[in-house]
């Protein structure tokens, strides 16, 4: 079992006269972990729902496993949906079902497995997310973090090849957020699933993904290898990653030039703009827990990034080359995996 690529081309979505985003193109590489950032209301959740065919963009294509889900039959869409495991922003648990039945739901719906097989899978996934013992609890009786983890267990029961997670960190403390991040890395290592995480969390964005994208002002501002965004001078990307008030993102999303100039003057006069403005550059990426399998996505990514390297900005190129040079881990991995080079 391994992940599949998701190729999005020229996607535009509106509700009535309200355009949410337009001409969005990006490819989630097979088995890699990507994060989609963007201020509130920029349509991240709408994008995620579009990927599984719950919402229908007006134009563009979404090709998964050779099928454009905006053109295919409903039977094909049903088959494609089985490739997905989705953790919705609100967890989307059924309030009247206990955690066991919630987690078992996709298995009962989509497979003909026996109840004893279902029990085995459910217990395994509940253990994976640290919920053993909570099977009989109702969603209303547990904390927000536990609901997130239950939603994740349910997203995993069909062994998905594509995992979409909408704000896994919302409502979680920083430590639990790190645990969830580690869990997603470990799952990626174990099943090589293609993962897209929607998040506001700067720390998660800096440490977890192979690729980062950002939605702003109805457009995908950027999408690419993590090093490209983490070293970017693009004002909106910089502002978001540093969490400061200085930049194009305002309380109601957008600011005009006059307002930005006014704010820069205030900061020049010593006003604190919030955030962590002096954090710059690329910090090491989170790894699977020791003992986990090698991330196949990371190995494929190394080749992929090497190929596109000349097309990337110089700062990103340097960051990539540095991290490759640092990465004894990857060297060891590739030595272990590649056929030996022919002796001369």
Residues that bind Mg ion (CB under 5 A): 44-45, 89
Q: Does 20 bind ligand ATP (CB under 6 A)?
A: yes
The span of 42-50, 67-75, 79-87, 189-197 binding ligand ATP (CB under 6 A) equals 42-50
Contact 161, 4 (CB under 8 A): yes
Sign for the pseudo-dihedral over CA of 263, 266, 268, 271: negative
Q: Which of 40, 116, 311, 343 binds ligand ATP (CB under 6 A)?
A: 40
- Residue number with CB closer to ligand ATP (43 or 213): 43
User: Could you give the C-alpha distances from 89 to 16, 93, 186, 223, in angstroms and in order?
Assistant: 23, 11, 21, 22
Q: Does 42 bind ligand ATP (CB under 6 A)?
A: yes
Q: What is the dihedral of CA 59, 57, 193, 103, to 10 degrees?
A: -160
Contact 62, 11 (CB under 8 A): yes
Q: Which of 31, 38, 151, 224 binds ligand ATP (CB under 6 A)?
A: 38
Say which residues have a Cβ less than 8 Å from residue 201's Cβ, sequence separation at least 6: 169, 177
- Residue number with CB closer to Mg ion (44 or 255): 44
For residue 131, the minimal CB distance to ligand ATP (Å) is 24
Report what 20 binds from Mg ion, ligand ATP, none; CB cut-off 5-8 Å by kind.
ligand ATP
Q: Which of 10, 41, 174, 284 binds ligand ATP (CB under 6 A)?
A: 41
Instruction: Round to whole Å and give the CA distance between 269 and 277.
Output: 16
Contact 171, 199 (CB under 8 A): no
Q: Does 44 bind ligand ATP (CB under 6 A)?
A: yes
Report what 81 binds from ligand ATP, Mg ion, none; CB cut-off 5-8 Å by kind.
none
- Residue number with CB closer to Mg ion (98 or 167): 167
Q: Does 197 bind ligand ATP (CB under 6 A)?
A: no
For residue 171, the minimal CB distance to ligand ATP (Å) is 12
DSSP H/E element including 68: strand 67-68
Report what 207 binds from Mg ion, ligand ATP, none; CB cut-off 5-8 Å by kind.
none
Give the number of other CB atoms < 10 A from CB of residue 46. 17
State the residue for tokens 């992929």: 304
Instruction: Round to whole Å and give the CA distance between 41 and 232.
Output: 23
Instruction: Round to whole Å and give the CA distance between 109 and 96.
Output: 17
DSSP H/E element including 179: helix 174-191
Q: Which of 14, 22, 27, 46 binds ligand ATP (CB under 6 A)?
A: 46
Q: Does 93 bind ligand ATP (CB under 6 A)?
A: no
Which tokens in the block code for residue 173?
Answer: 């403390």
Which tokens in the block code for residue 95?
Answer: 């309030």
- Residue number with CB closer to ligand ATP (90 or 101): 90
For residue 51, the minimal CB distance to ligand ATP (Å) is 12
Q: Does 282 bind ligand ATP (CB under 6 A)?
A: no
DSSP-based three-state secondary structure for 78 = helix
Q: Does 43 bind ligand ATP (CB under 6 A)?
A: yes
Q: Does 148 bind ligand ATP (CB under 6 A)?
A: no
For residue 197, the minimal CB distance to ligand ATP (Å) is 13
The residues that touch ligand ATP, with contacts defined as CB under 6 A, are 15, 20, 38, 40-46, 89
């Amino acid at each position: 079992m391994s992940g599949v690529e998701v190729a999005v081309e020229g996607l535009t979505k509106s509700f009535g006269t309200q355009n949410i985003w337009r001409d969005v193109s990006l490819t989630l590489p097979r088995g890699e972990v990507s994060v989609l950032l963007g201020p509130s209301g920029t349509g991240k959740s709408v994008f995620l729902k579009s990927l599984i065919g719950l919402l229908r963009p007006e134009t563009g294509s979404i090709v998964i496993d050779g099928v454009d889900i905006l053109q295919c039959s409903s039977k094909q869409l049903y088959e494609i949906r089985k490739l997905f495991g989705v953790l919705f922003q609100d967890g989307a648990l059924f309030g009247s079902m206990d955690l066991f039945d919630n987690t078992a739901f996709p298995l009962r719906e989509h497979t003909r497995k026996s109840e004893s097989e279902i029990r085995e899978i459910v217990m395994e996934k509940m253990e994976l997310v640290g919920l053993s013992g909570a099977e009989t609890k109702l969603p209303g009786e547990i904390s927000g973090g536990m609901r997130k983890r239950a939603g994740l267990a349910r997203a995993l029961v069909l062994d998905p090849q594509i995992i979409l997670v909408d704000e896994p960190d919302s409502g979680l403390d920083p430590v639990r957020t790190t645990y969830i991040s580690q869990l997603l890395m470990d799952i990626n290592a174990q099943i090589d699933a293609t993962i897209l995480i929607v998040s506001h969390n700067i720390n998660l964005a800096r440490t977890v993904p192979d690729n980062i994208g950002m939605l702003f002002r109805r457009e995908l501002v950027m999408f690419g290898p993590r090093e490209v965004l983490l070293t970017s001078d693009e004002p909106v990307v910089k502002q978001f990653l540093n969490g400061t008030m200085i930049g194009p993102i305002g309380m109601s999303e957008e600011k005009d030039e006059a307002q930005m100039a006014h704010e820069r003057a205030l900061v020049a006069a010593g006003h604190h703009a919030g955030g962590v403005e002096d954090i710059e550059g690329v910090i090491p990426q989170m790894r699977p827990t020791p003992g986990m399998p090698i991330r196949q996505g990371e190995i494929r990514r190394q080749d992929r990034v090497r190929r596109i390297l000349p097309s990337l900005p110089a700062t990103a190129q340097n960051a990539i080359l540095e991290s490759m040079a640092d990465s004894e881990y990857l060297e060891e991995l590739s030595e272990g995996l590649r056929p030996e080079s022919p002796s001369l």
